């Protein structure tokens, strides 16, 4: 029995020394940086530098200055209401299942733009060629580095496909140009500015930390996309956006606050954001 006891103790000590695959956010109200999980390929290998942004504030992000000021509650007509995976309908239990359902609803309207063959998504390009996106998920064996593709949206004016990418944990999005097949991973669902010159992408994952929480700005030029700036945010998450001009938008945010019943609750607020190149 003593030998068995020592073996069990040794196993417990070794198990406690093993690195954790999943690291979730710190407790609400903590000033420590978010500890992001490592599965999402949109996140840097090391912890990103996060900023706290107040109601009236300004920050420097790469080549741009961003100015934030509070505004009253603003109704924003979401571009992705029908594509939202924030609330799962009956019959689905997770975001990936819902993403598959969203793709199936696109088929009747865009059957000349894409097709599905088992674990492979085919996107039709303007030159008549097809771009192949093949899943790596093995349903029999869980793999932290798995990924799977589903068509999420199509922008006919800009001629970009939006593909949702399911990782082992968390998800991301990819914009693909229909003219030439150019691909760009982005934070989240994209919002084209009035002229189409800029794209803002948003992502908020305040609790789990599998996805980035922040804003990304892209330049849309010559059928290609280049990242202009990105900012990781600590104290709130961006969830919706309405462009007012190519350098100004209204941003809907969500904040995590303690709740005596649910533990935490999401509280919305709105900001006017002006972007200026340095």
Q: Is the pLDDT of residue 30 over 60?
A: no
147-155 and 160-167: which strand pairing?
Answer: antiparallel
CB 255 within 8 A of CB 235: yes
Mark whether 59 and 133 lie in a shared domain.
Answer: no
Mark whether 138 and 274 lie in a shared domain.
Answer: no
Question: Which residues on adjacent β-strands are paired with residue 262?
Answer: none
Mark whether 108 and 119 lie in a shared domain.
Answer: yes
The helix (run of H) or strand (run of E) holding residue 17 is: helix 2-17
pLDDT per position as a tens digit, 115-152: 999 999 999 999 999 999 999 866 555 555 678 999 99
Give the chain's domain count: 2
**Structural domain includes residue 70:** yes
Mark whether 109 and 167 lie in a shared domain.
Answer: yes
Average pLDDT (253-278) is: 94
CA dist., res. 223 & res. 178, Å (int): 9
pLDDT per position as a tens digit, 92-124: 667 888 888 899 989 888 989 999 999 999 999
Range of 208's domain? 24-78+198-278
Last residue of a domain, one of 162, 188, 214: 188
Average pLDDT (222-239) is: 96
Q: Is the pLDDT of residue 35 over 90?
A: no
Mark whether 54 and 89 lie in a shared domain.
Answer: no
Last residue of a domain, one of 188, 217, 233: 188
**Structural domain includes residue 14:** no
CA dist., res. 223 & res. 176, Å (int): 10
What is the structure's pLDDT at 93? 64
Mean pLDDT score of the chain: 82
CB 124 within 8 A of CB 130: yes
Mark whether 87 and 174 lie in a shared domain.
Answer: yes
Q: Is the pLDDT of residue 36 over 80?
A: no
**Structural domain includes residue 4:** no
Q: Is the pLDDT of residue 67 over 60?
A: yes
pLDDT band at residue 4, thresholds of 50, 70 and 90?
A: very low
Last residue of a domain, one of 157, 188, 219: 188
Mark whether 216 and 249 lie in a shared domain.
Answer: yes
**In the structure encoding, which two tokens stand for residue 219, read together?**
């330049």
Q: Is the pLDDT of residue 237 over 90?
A: yes
What is the structure's pLDDT at 203? 94
Which residues lie below 8 Å from residue 13, measured CB to CB, with a gap of 6+? none
Q: Residue 13 — φ and ψ, nearest 5°? A: -65, -45
**In the structure encoding, which two tokens stand for residue 265, read together?**
């609750």
Question: Which residues on adjacent β-strands are paired with residue 234?
Answer: none
Mark whether 37 and 100 lie in a shared domain.
Answer: no
pTM: 0.79
Mark whether 180 and 242 lie in a shared domain.
Answer: no
What is the structure's pLDDT at 112? 93
Question: Which residues on adjacent β-strands are paired with residue 123?
Answer: 114, 131
pLDDT per position as a tens digit, 141-189: 555 567 899 999 999 999 999 999 988 778 889 999 999 999 999 999 9
Mark whether 61 and 105 lie in a shared domain.
Answer: no
What is the structure's pLDDT at 15? 40
Of 65-74, 87-96, 203-212, which gets the smallest average pLDDT?
87-96
């Amino acid at each position: 029995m003593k030998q068995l006891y020592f073996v069990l103790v040794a196993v417990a000590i070794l198990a406690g020394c093993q690195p954790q695959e999943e690291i979730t956010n710190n407790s609400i109200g903590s000033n420590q940086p978010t500890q992001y999980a490592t599965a999402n390929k949109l996140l840097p290998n090391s912890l990103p530098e996060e900023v706290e942004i107040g109601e009236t504030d300004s920050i420097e992000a790469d080549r741009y200055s961003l100015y934030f000021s509070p505004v009253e509650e603003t109704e924003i007509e979401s571009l992705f209401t029908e594509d939202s995976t924030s609330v799962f309908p009956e019959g689905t239990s997770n975001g990936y299942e819902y993403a598959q359902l969203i793709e199936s609803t696109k088929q009747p309207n865009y059957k000349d733009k894409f097709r599905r063959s088992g674990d492979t998504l085919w996107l039709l390009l303007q030159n008549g060629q097809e771009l192949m996106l093949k899943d790596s998920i093995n349903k029999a064996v869980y793999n932290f580095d798995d990924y799977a593709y589903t068509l999420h949206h199509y922008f006919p004016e800009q001629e970009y496909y939006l593909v949702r990418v399911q990782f082992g944990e968390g998800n991301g999005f990819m914009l693909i140009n229909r003219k030439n097949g150019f691909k760009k991973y982005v934070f989240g669902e994209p919002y084209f500015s009035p002229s189409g010159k800029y794209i803002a992408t948003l992502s908020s994952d305040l609790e789990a930390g599998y996805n980035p929480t922040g804003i990304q700005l892209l330049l849309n030029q010559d059928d290609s996309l280049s990242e202009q700036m990105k900012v990781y945010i600590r104290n709130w998450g961006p969830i919706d956006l309405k462009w007012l001009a190519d350098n100004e938008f209204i941003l809907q945010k969500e904040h995590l606050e303690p709740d005596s019943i649910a533990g935490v609750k999401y509280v919305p607020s709105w900001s006017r954001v002006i972007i200026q190149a340095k």
